[in-house]
Chain A
Amino acid sequence: MSQPVSPVRHVLIEGNKSYHNISEDLCVPTEKAPSREWILAFSLSAAFLGLYIFAVTWTIWKGIGEWGANRTINWAWDITNFVWWIGIGHAGTLISAILLLFRQRWRTGVNRAAEAMTIFAVMCAGQFPLIHMGRLWLAFFIFPFPNTRGPLWVNFNSPLLWDVFAISTYFSVSLLFWYTGLVPDLATVRDRASGFRKKMYEIFSFGWTGSAKHWQRWESLSLILAGISTPLVLSVHTIVSFDFATSVIPGWHTTIFPPYFVAGAIFSGFAMVQTLMVITRKVLKLEEYITINHIDSMNKVIVLTGTIVGVAYLTELFIAWYSGYIYEQFAFYNRVFGVYWWSYFGMMFCNVVSPQLFWSRKIRRSIWWTFFLSIVVNIGMWFERFVIIATTLARDYLPSSWSYYSPTWVEISLFTGTIGLFFTLFLIFTRVAPVVAIAEVKAILKVAGDQFIGPNAKKSHGHAAHEAEKQEKH
């Protein structure tokens, strides 16, 4: 490709790869028998998935009285987990859509896995509001369908209903975006396969041939989907924050919530991508495609969004004091020094202090630090939602109804169970589809491969140089 390449551009594909090497390296994980690590990880995840199924069945059978939630603290671990998972589900679309619009080439190494992660995280998130309803079999009441009660319609003014639309739209659009990107790569797998596998991939690759016109439409579709997914991803967490911000509960009723939730979502999503990628690149031997440069770039996003979140926390405290409104002031005093003080300080440490370490280039480029801090951030973001939800509700207007909440085994099983569900789906994904977008990596090879750019470049990427090289050969 004859695009100009800046000499300061990072190498994104190492190992002097040819196009064929790329297909080979990225398809092989779907072709060979699973490794021992994979089987071990899958068994563990499946065990937690089993626990999840048991806990859900228990909840539906016995009712949500089995949870620790009470009349005062009526939103607890369920909604905390919901917001946590939805937040994690934001990185995939962010990487795919916003970074596509910004033409960030490093997205190609991680976008496929991040999008898959988004879909699985939203699936985990969606469970919680549904079982939280108590009578799951009446969940269809949330949809505006013609009914025999009038028809009586749902309340379109309610942020909870906006959430239904936002999350179902987000899920289905992310799925389309992910799958459309996957189709050409499934065709690559199909053309290498034989027998039953070939038949399966024939069905799932929809008859893709690689025609220039199809590629042109495919790129047009990807670009527009990216364009509409960008406001979509921002709207989803905005609407999730409206669940709180439009209420009249001190501590929730704040206008800062939408941007603060969106930044937090990107922050936690990238942390989860790091956790997954650090393991995936090692286990599937993709270090030459998901390079230290990719990890470095994502860590930069983490330090940026972590700092935004930190500023939001401090702004909240300042505004609570500055408002002169005693209920607001009490709500925040209670957050910091109340019964759940430990979760506030846990949140502050994990989300604000720990990511600051990423200002150091050495730490940003260290696998172990990245892995460790990504888990710290995930814990911190869980604490954030717990602080907002449980701490605020524990001390409401009437001291006589003040309460304390601790989870029961059912809630703990539900939460750890969704982690099992998430990893089970992700592990299956790594076995059936290429984890890195093959076609997109090939398309950037000549501007990001280490034989073309960087200190060890042997070949030139320019068109004129290519011609010269050909002349030389003849």
Chain B
Amino acid sequence: MAAESKKVLYGLYNDEEDLKSAVKTARHDHLDMMDVLTPFPVHGLDPIMGLAESRLHILGFIYGAIGASFGFGFMSWALASDWPILFGGKPYWPVPSFIPITFEMTVLFAAWGMTITFYTICGMWPGVKAKILDNRITDDKFCIAFDVTDTDDKSVDGIKAFFKKTGAAEVNLKTI
């Protein structure tokens, strides 16, 4: 995607409780937030923002199931069908001794699958340049950002009034 620059109006708060009540107000006033950025995971923020629960864990289960079937299936095929060998008089298809590797493959696939999916859906990879609004967001500031590229002046003033009302420590405009 060609990176189109956006005009972003953002407010910085000093405390996560201020941020939470501000987000509540924004939702109540039907303001369309672009993003909320925090230096650490703020618990209880997702329901206030109306974020749906992440479905990453469902994918984790699917990747794990693929890993388990692949591991077990491959071992069964290799030892029982492709080149059957008798090991110490054991059956050609020794299910119990496939369990450890099947388990490891489950974990391996689930972990790698989920991690790769996580970075992909978040658009994060080595070399991706973060669109940083403010350097202090990864330090101690809590940010609410609004995309004001195509917003008329009246609405911008409304957002500014909202920041003032909710006690934002700073309000800035930045093009990213």
Contacts and interface: CB of A to CB of B under 8 A. Distances in A.
A211 B35 contact: yes
Contact of A209 (B37, B41, B139): B37
Contacts of B114: 221, 224-225
B108 A172 contact: yes
A53 interface: no
Given A150-B83, A191-B135, A217-B54, A228 B110 contact: yes
A151 B87 CA distance: 17
Interface stretch (B24-32, B93-101, B152-160): B93-101
Contacts, number: 200
A183 B132 CA distance: 15
Contacts of A466: 15, 17
A84 B54 CA distance: 39
A169 B126 contact: no
Nearest to A214: B122
A207 B79 contact: no
A130 B52 CA distance: 47
B39 A442 contact: yes
Interface string A178-212: 00100110011011100000000011111111111
Contacts of B82: 151, 153
B138 A188 contact: yes
B9 interface: no
Contacts of B119: 206
Contacts of A39: none
A173 interface: yes
A162 B139 contact: no
Interface stretch (A69-77, A117-125, A231-239, A385-393): A231-239
A144 B49 CA distance: 49
B87 A187 contact: no
A166 B140 CA distance: 40
A463 B48 CA distance: 15
Given A165-B100, A173-B108, A224-B60, A215 B41 contact: yes
Interface residues of B, number: 70
Contact of B51 (A180, A216, A439, A442): A216
Interface in B99-150: 100-101, 103-108, 110-112, 114-115, 118-119, 121-132, 135-140, 143
Contacts of B169: none
A222 to B, nearest CB: 9
B46 interface: yes
Contact of B17 (A162, A172, A207, A463): A463
Interface in A57-73: none
A171 to B, nearest CB: 10
Contacts of B106: 228
Contacts of B57: 220, 223-224
A223 B54 CA distance: 12
B91 to A, nearest CB: 10
B101 A191 contact: no
Contacts of A155: 85, 87
A184 B122 CA distance: 13
A154 to B, nearest CB: 8
Given A165-B104, A188-B39, A203-B127, A156 B111 contact: no
Interface stretch (A15-23, A352-360, A416-424): A15-23
A238 to B, nearest CB: 8
A1 B45 contact: no
Interface of A is mostly: helix
A190 B138 CA distance: 9
Nearest to B143: A210
The contact size tier of chain A is 35 or more
Nearest to B71: A165
A443 interface: yes
A46 B140 CA distance: 38
A92 to B, nearest CB: 15
B56 interface: yes
Contact of B121 (A144, A208, A217): A217
Nearest to B74: A144
A173 to B, nearest CB: 4
A229 B111 CA distance: 9
B118 A221 contact: yes
A202 B56 contact: no
B138 A206 contact: no
Nearest to B60: A224
A31 interface: no
Given A152-B83, A155-B87, A215-B38, A207 B128 contact: yes
A228 B107 contact: yes
A172 B56 contact: no
Nearest to B49: A212
B65 interface: no
Contacts of B118: 180, 217-218, 221
B62 interface: no
B78 A442 contact: no
A262 B91 CA distance: 30
B107 A224 contact: no
A439 B39 contact: yes
B83 A153 contact: yes
Given A209-B35, A228-B111, A442-B40, 20 more contacts: A1-B43, A165-B100, A165-B105, A169-B105, A169-B107, A173-B108, A177-B111, A191-B137, A210-B137, A210-B138, A216-B41, A217-B122, A218-B41, A220-B57, A221-B114, A221-B118, A225-B114, A231-B103, A232-B107, A242-B100
Interface of B: 15-17, 35-46, 49, 51, 53-54, 56-57, 60, 64, 74-75, 78-79, 82-83, 85, 87-88, 90, 94, 97-98, 100-101, 103-108, 110-112, 114-115, 118-119, 121-132, 135-140, 143
11 contacts: A3-B43, A162-B101, A190-B138, A207-B129, A208-B130, A212-B35, A212-B51, A217-B54, A217-B56, A218-B41, A466-B17
